[in-house]
Amino acid sequence: MERCVRQALRAVPNVRPPRVPRSGPSCQAGEVTATLEQLDTDTSADAATVVVADVPWRTIVWDDPVNLMTYVSYVFRSYFGYPRDEAERLMLQVHHEGRAVVATGNREAMERHAQAMHAYGLQATVSRAEA
């Protein structure tokens, strides 16, 4: 690669070719590709990935001094579709305990829920659920 760069830059006067470090594996040598292929076919890595993927995630809504309790209950009913009793129970849990788990599932869905809570003006985070 260094030789190709030097040849291309010879045509441009007064330009120094970039310094290419020689340490580490080269992609052209196939070493990096072989390592990646080995990781793809490694069965023990696949088993560990499956176990990690099965762990559910959760969206947590946190208490804040800004939003009214009626508004928090409204958000839970309108966004999550909770019935009034469940929305008020979660709202009171946020108010008294400082936080409430409002949803559990895969990570991508929980991140979407947290972003939606941010759009409503609520403080929310995503964390891994205890196994």
Per residue of the chain (131 residues), what is the pLDDT tens digit? 555 555 655 655 565 555 655 555 544 544 544 544 554 555 555 544 445 556 799 999 999 999 999 999 999 999 999 999 999 999 999 999 999 999 999 999 999 999 999 999 999 999 998 86
How, if at all, do strands 99-105 and 57-62 pair? antiparallel
Burial of 14: CB neighbours in 10 Å, binned 0-12, 13-18, 19+ = exposed
Query: What is the C-alpha R_g of the chain?
Result: 26
Structural element, H or E, at residue 104: strand 99-105
Alpha-carbon gap, residue 104 to 19, rounded angstroms? 50
Question: Interior CA angle at 27 toward 21 and 28, to 5°?
Answer: 100
Alpha-carbon gap, residue 90 to 78, rounded angstroms? 14
| CATH topology (fold) of 60-128 | Ribosomal Protein L30; Chain: A, (3.30.1390)
Q: Is 87 strand, coil or helix?
A: helix
